[in-house]
Amino acid sequence: MGSKERSKHDVFVNFRGPDVREGFLKNLHKALVRSGIKTFVDSEDLHQGEKLTPALKKAIERSLVTIVVFSQDYASSEWCLKELVKIFERTKRKEQLVVTVFYKVKPSQVMQRTGLYEEAMAKHERRHGKDSDMVEEWRHALSITSNFPGSHLEDNADEAKFIKGLVEEVKAKLQHLEAKRKPESISGQHTLHSLLTTGRDHFWTPFTHHESWQWPSILSGEPFPPPQTSLFPSPSVMAAPNIVTAMINL
């Protein structure tokens, strides 16, 4: 994007409204705003017709970080899945970071699409056809993005403490992005060279999760710690693929 069209929002939040809007999301949004983080949270008014509205597309495209909140009934929402496909497209072009939150749902249920996630995808297949390309795109985006860096908020967790840790992590990512972006420019473009690199070159390659493992920030540049070494304030941080160089036009 041109220099006059810099990121309008720092963060875009992808979520299913009935699951989290009035509690967790409202508190998260307030905490992000208090920290000076420009955050886009959509409203039901933007859900029109069968396709993503231009406003939603632009909000996703102009955000540097997306927080994807996986909740119990997330996969039942076609809007969540449509947004997720757009978000996934951005990550494939290495133009956006994704942070996942497993909100009172087991990460394995999302990653392996079992339980309510399996039921939701089966319902989409019945509606759109078993061989629907759209449903396959949803399934693929769900499979890959659920493996991105994230935290698990369990039923008995301290939600306020969890939100505080999540906001601190997002803020650190944005500060790192800004610091890395300023000095580097090539042919009118700013390259986020190596700001997403942690020493390896995997981007969205499937990998094995170990729920007892906790990884450092994907922007920290620190080596991977041994199992059960906690570097996050959040209750449980899932293993993350390593993200490489990103290009963002300013």
Give φ, ψ of 73 to 5 degrees: -105, 20
- For residue 70, the cross-strand partners are 102
CA–CA gap between residue 250 and residue 244 (Å, rounded): 19
The β-bridge relationship of strands 246-248 and 63-70 is unpaired
CA–CA gap between residue 195 and residue 243 (Å, rounded): 9
CB-based burial of residue 82 (10 Å sphere; 0-12 exposed, 13-18 middle, 19+ buried)?
buried
In the chain, the largest separation of any two C-alpha atoms, in whole Å, equals 52
- Of 5, 61, 78, 83, the active-site residue reads 83
- With the C-alpha atoms ordered 23, 110, 99, 166, is the resulting torsion angle positive or negative? positive
83 is catalytic: yes
CA–CA gap between residue 165 and residue 170 (Å, rounded): 9
Question: Which residues are identified as catalytic?
Answer: 83
